[in-house]
Amino acid sequence: MESFGTRLHAAMGERGPLCVGIDPHAALLRRWGLPDDVAGLARFCATVVEAIADRVAVVKPQSAFFERFGSEGIAILESTIRQLRSAGALVLLDVKRGDIGSTVAAYASAYLDPSSSLCVDAVTASPYLGVRSLAPMFTTAAEHGAGVFVLALTSNPEGAEVQHARSADGRTVAQLVIDEISQLNAGVEPLGNFGLVVGATIGDTGHDLSRVNGPLLAPGLGAQGGSAEDLRTVFGDRLATVLPAYSREVLAAGPEPAALRAAADRVLAECRAVLGRLAE
């Protein structure tokens, strides 16, 4: 299998730089006129797949909104993953896992090994037990052509107290994460397999992203307050590797598939206008 970075680079070139989240929380299900139960979840996911799976580069299911329904919810997640990938979308599962030793290795097997029914193209991971604690996840991803997006600078206001804390050498915790992921991607073409999560609403924090050489997932756009124009401030000359992520801004347009497609097309156009020819 081609590397995740190669597949993502191709998908962004063919379908455009856009990641759409699948976040079926209770309020959104009700807004769509669906019950907050397994049947409502299944209908919601089927509609999203029908609307965008064949046109969006990356789709990002949020695992928690499936897990809350227990084994039946996980079964729907498995089915949704299969359908998305069959339609050509890359699947980034938002699980934010992070642990040590055999436990993080087990998470890696669950999400990144093709023998698992939950296997996806990439996952999100938390580095706050130490970036190197995620080594088994990085190894499994490399073995199977998968990717990992590591939290670095998140949009939530609570994040700064940890991410902006200074280490003994003066770097922030976030910069330490950025630098370690940059080393994993060094020399890889056209794009490294290991990305960072950098919120679109954080502004200019002074962190150096110049050597990442991997994808930069930018959540926080749309309903969460960020705009495509904010990407210029946050990412500067790294716009070519930015993957903008929208969830509620697109999903709120449902439940009609045509309306969901129109919303996805609209935000993609906004992102293209900012990212320019680098995202063509």
Q: What is the pLDDT of residues 5-44, one digit of tens each?
A: 999 999 999 999 999 999 999 999 999 999 999 999 999 9
pLDDT category of residue 225 using cuts at 50, 70 and 90: confident
Write down the pLDDT at residue 1.
78
- Tens-digit pLDDT profile for residues 161-189: 999 999 999 999 999 999 999 999 999 99
pLDDT category of residue 119 using cuts at 50, 70 and 90: very high
Write down the pLDDT at residue 82.
98
pLDDT category of residue 54 using cuts at 50, 70 and 90: very high
Q: Which residue, chain included where needed, has tokens 């990305």?
A: 195
Which CATH number does 4-279 carry?
Answer: 3.20.20.70
For the chain, the domains span 4-279
Q: For residues 257 and 51, is the Cβ–Cβ distance under 8 A?
A: yes
> With 0-12 CB in 10 A as exposed, 13-18 as middle and 19+ as buried, what is 22?
buried
Phi, psi of 215 (to 5 degrees): -70, 145
Among residues 256, 265, 268, the alpha carbon closest in space to that of 50 is found at 256
Instruction: Please identify every residue annotated as catalytic.
Output: 96
Tokens found for residue 92: 């980034």
Residue 279 pLDDT > 80: no
- Tens-digit pLDDT profile for residues 89-101: 999 999 999 999 9
Taking the C-alpha atoms of residue 239 and residue 206, their distance in angstroms, rounded to an integer, is: 16
